[in-house]
Structure 1
Amino acid sequence: MTEEVPPTALSEIYLRLLCHDDIDTVKQLCGDWFPIEYPDSWYRDITSNKKFFSLAATYRSTIVGMIVAEIKSRTKVHKEDGDILASGFPVDTQVAYILSLGVVKEFRKHGIGSLLLESLKEHISTTSQDHCKAIYLHVLTTNNTAINFYENRDFKQHHYLPYYYSIRGVLKDGFTYVLYINGGHPPWTILYPLLAVWEGFANAKGRSIWSGASPDECPVQQVQCCVYKGRAVIETPL
């Protein structure tokens, strides 16, 4: 897409679920955003399988952004993130995992990424009600744009994951970021109350102890994509 995007583009954005007819378009977008090729089964799943929340942002009927997430039981979280929630939560407690969040280059910095993220949160509140306690994702430690985007939206760094990514044969470190909702919280530690107090103090000044930056709309950057232990992992392109 080469046309100039007006400042009011967000007012013309419509949201809809991805469907089977979108596969070719989604493939093209993923080819632009991601440095690896995904099997056809992956595209069929995210456009047809009801276990995924796959939402498209369209501008004049053209897809210009999308978010893909899965709401699942905490028991289905992979081992490296198994302690996202404190052990006291019931086994049927749910969490939401963001697989992908991307926006076409020309439409970045128009609030579309924020709109898609908020739509996921609204979907969780209407379908899972208060049973979903956390939204989480993975990101490269070097992707400062994505990190700032999420930290400015109250996501907190939960884990440092050394050698989590393998990108073109090169091992890269990652972070797990988590947004706790509906009373969800991580395992208690001796430092947790102190961090909570300091976070409140920092937020009162309009800053985050995690990023040191005032909240602001963050541009959407190109995604990095990789395979981790035989499964596809897509880093959020924000």
Structure 2
Amino acid sequence: PDTIVIPPQWFPKMPTMENFQQLMVQNPALQWMWNSVFISLVTMFLVCATSSLAGYVLAKKRFYGQRILFAIFIAAMALPKQVVLVPLVRIVNFMGIHDTLWAVILPLIGWPFGVFLMKQFSENIPTELLESAKIDGCGEIRTFWSVAFPIVKPGFAALAIFTFINTWNDYFMQLVMLTSRNNLTISLGVATMQAEMATNYGLIMAGAALAAVPIVTVFLVFQKSFTQGITMGAVKG
């Protein structure tokens, strides 16, 4: 093949889709793709929901221990996942969800960076608007949804993209929590192919290309929201 000839051929003389066909036939690649999409989308939704609410409360509500709680979130951002790996595995085993997609999703919900990011955006919410909504009889949930959320929407969109990409590329957590072949994600599945078929570079590159398509698509589609959210977060001072 063109990948191993000397001198190497950067562009194949006879392009073919055979590697993609073999990838689908020899491996459950579509199942791996579905697992990756499901884990990334569900994690994105749960992280955005919890982080936006937590960030709003930390920014606009006053309660005892508020600064200490926020300091804990900041400190947690500095901890690598390897530090809390053993407790996470024991909790997952205790819940009986090891080697399931939820074993990857649940440990990722409490993302300190998401809370920090949404708190910074929530600081831009005028307190007068919240007080006006309270005078008009709005409850906490309606105030957040009708008044606060439209203001922090750019940050919400940026967090959604961050979470999707971070979850999709989270090889370490997937490697620890998933063992069955049909439960693997596309990145983990490609890694197992590399171990099993170390010389079949065409098949491995086909899997890598398939794994990169969703990330590139998400960024291109939501590029405007992503850059807007990052810019607003940088300008805030």
Q: TM-score, normalised by structure 2?
A: 0.29
More helix by share: 2
Query: Higher relative contact order at CA 8 Å, sep ≥6: structure 1 or structure 2?
Result: 2
More strand by share: 1
Larger-Rg structure: 2
